[in-house]
Amino acid sequence: MTVKILSITLLLLSVCKIPFLTFNLSGTRRRHPGRIPPCCPAVTKGNRTAEVVGETYREQAASGRCVKAIIFNTEYGQLCADPDAQWVKDRKSC
């Protein structure tokens, strides 16, 4: 390969931002949709039991912009619920 072709290839790869070839020089973790669940910046207090799908849930501790939450799965994605809400406590004990 000539230097010119190699330079053009590297330029195209850097512009296309192919995930497995990108580098994170800032030292922070990169968030990739679908791989790492997003955190909950707020929670719902209203009873949303009917929307919850399945029996599994995940607990989230407060950290940075993320608040303390119980995360349930719904048909439309994640539901961030207040861990102190009575319906959440009831749902967790099932």
- pLDDT digits over 2-42, tens only? 867 666 665 555 544 444 433 333 333 444 455 556 789 99
pLDDT band, very low/low/confident/very high, at 88 (cuts 50, 70, 90): very high
* pLDDT the model gives residue 38: 74
Q: How many domains does the chain have?
A: 1
> Going along 12-93, which residue ranges are E strands?
52-60, 69-74, 77-81
Cα separation, 73 vs 18, in Å, equals 30
- Non-local (6+) Cβ contacts of 36 within 8 A are 29
Residue 46: give its domain's CATH number. Answer: 2.40.50.40
Domain span at residue 26 reads 3-32+39-93
- Does pTM surpass 0.95? no
**Is 93:54 a contact under the CB 8 Å cutoff?**
no
Place of tokens 């790492």: 36
Residue-level pLDDT at 18: 41
